[in-house]
Structure 1
Amino acid sequence: MIDPTALPVAEIEWRGAVRIIRSVFPPIDLFEDIADPADWPLLIAAEQKTNPRLMETIGNLDLVPPERRVSGPGASWLMAPFTHVSPDRPSRFSDGRFGVLYAGDRFEVALLETVHHHGRFMRATAQPAGWTSQFREILLDIDAALHDLRGLGQEAAEVLDPVDYAGSQQLGARLRAAGAQGLAYPSVRCAGGDCAGLFYPDLASRPMQGRHLDYHWNGERVDLYRDRSACAVFRIV
């Protein structure tokens, strides 16, 4: 196991980092329209009196410290990874008990990362071939001091295993408990690409919607993606 105290920390400043998410999640008015997150708890309490399903939309707001919550246009895309968490949905650096916002340093990285995970789901549930779920590209800026796994080579192999996330989840939990902001690491799905895993939503800013995408499942793998914005289909090799 990598010693977290020995990891280098890098100042990451990525403009136009890319995150790809399912299009089924609509913006949350609370995050988008109410400027001061300090007002959210009282507004939620009042709204729940007439809308008992509110928390299904917002998620568990208590998982995000008040001082680290974000609001304004696009805030839903930054808050959702942290308020909608579950042990049933673990990720590389979390066992599902806390949220992580993942992004690639460019489109190809985010595409191949999400294609991999979507393909695993389609295979595990024996889905028939065809065009599947709709996705949206989110562009955002990252400005954070992150523990850096890039350049560590074989030393980082355990926490960058393509299949087994046990080591990386332990590392993520230890870093977060020690007050870390997140991690920068090389993509294991896109050679030469880098990823970031952020532990708090305020480490990203200026989220904007980019392209609308569809993925095509051929029964074995995701082999095509469709850019609905450009009316074009591309093969994934």
Structure 2
Amino acid sequence: MVTAKDLPVLSADPVRAYRLVNSKFPPIAIFDDVASADEFEELYALQALTNPRLANQAGRLELIPRADIPFGIQGCSYAAAPFTHVNPDGSRFSDGSFGVLYLADCMETAIAEVRYHQQIYWANVPALRFERFVFRGLTARFDEAGVLDALTASRSDPIYSPTAYDASRLLGRSAFDAGSTGIRYHSVRQPGGICWGLLTPRQVSSVVQTAHYEMIWNGEVIGVHKLSTKVG
């Protein structure tokens, strides 16, 4: 099994990548309303006096250093949210104790990744027969400096198991503990696709909403349709 020390470290290089998020999760306004960590602390303290839901909206702020949050960029909320709203069940590179920002090389890859995981989730929802779910398409820009390159690992390595995440989570934990900024890897759901699991949002320079997509569920995901395009 490949480990973090086996993987080359990427040098600085600007990347454009894509992400799909469920529209039921709105942007977290407080991240986008400030330009610095100091401003965030002041606004958070002020709003906490009158907004009892603020902590739930902002998430677990103790999971990410303030210095890692890219305050002032367009779409800061989208960059920070995966690190304060962490799935306790974990993901490919996380055991649930830290966040990962997953991005893809194109929207088709992002859709394939999300479609797979949503299908598993919806299949376990009792009595769900037919539904439409709307997602936001996002375009992100970030720098690859410090990212581990798992594209160099064999596709037969356990980190690429389609169902078992033990090996990939060990890699993610060791990369996180070593201070790596992320992992670049082959998409497991889209042949030829490339993904990134960023372990910090600090090198993200923008995240922009581009379109809405609809997934149609009828016992399985039977279609994905682009609904609209947002310029910005």
Aligned match of 1:188: 188
Q: Secondary structure at the match of 2:131?
A: strand
Aligned match of 2:29: 29
Q: What are the ranges of 5 or more consecutive residues in structure 1 without an aligned counterpart?
A: 231-237
User: Which residue identity is paired with 1:171?
Assistant: L
- Does residue 228 in structure 1 map to residue 220 in structure 2? no
Structure 1 residues 198-207 or 96-105, which shifts more?
A: 198-207
**For residues 157 and 12 of structure 2, what CA distance do their matches in structure 1 show?**
22
Q: Secondary structure at the match of 2:16?
A: strand
CA contact (8 A) 2:18 2:103 kept: yes
User: Which residue identity is paired with 1:222?
Assistant: V
Aligned match of 2:210: 210
Aligned match of 1:112: 112
Deviation at 1:46, TM superposition (A): 2.4
Aligned match of 1:234: none
Deviation at 1:127, TM superposition (A): 4.8
User: Which residue identity is paired with 1:195?
Assistant: C
**For residues 16 and 126 of structure 2, what CA distance do their matches in structure 1 show?**
35
CA contact (8 A) 2:32 2:76 kept: yes
Aligned match of 1:152: 153
Residues 1-237 of structure 1: matches in 2 within 5 Å? 1-11=1-11, 13=13, 15-72=15-72, 73-88=74-89, 90-145=90-145, 146-154=147-155, 157-219=157-219, 221-229=220-228
CA contact (8 A) 1:102 1:195 kept: yes
TM-score by length of structure 1 reads 0.89
Q: Secondary structure at the match of 1:184?
A: strand
**For residues 182 and 124 of structure 1, what CA distance do their matches in structure 2 show?**
31
Deviation at 1:27, TM superposition (A): 2.1
Aligned match of 1:235: none
User: Which residue identity is paired with 2:132?
Assistant: T
Deviation at 1:12, TM superposition (A): 6.7
Aligned CA distance change for structure 1 residues 50 and 140 (closer, same or farther; 3 Å): same
Q: Secondary structure at the match of 2:92?
A: coil
Q: Secondary structure at the match of 2:144?
A: strand
Deviation at 1:131, TM superposition (A): 3.5
TM-score by length of structure 2 reads 0.91
Q: Percent identity?
A: 37
User: Which residue identity is paired with 1:169?
Assistant: R
User: Which residue identity is paired with 1:67?
Assistant: A
Deviation beyond 2 Å, 4+ runs, structure 1 = 10-16, 126-132
Q: What are the ranges of 5 or more consecutive residues in structure 2 without an aligned counterpart?
A: none
Deviation at 1:191, TM superposition (A): 0.4
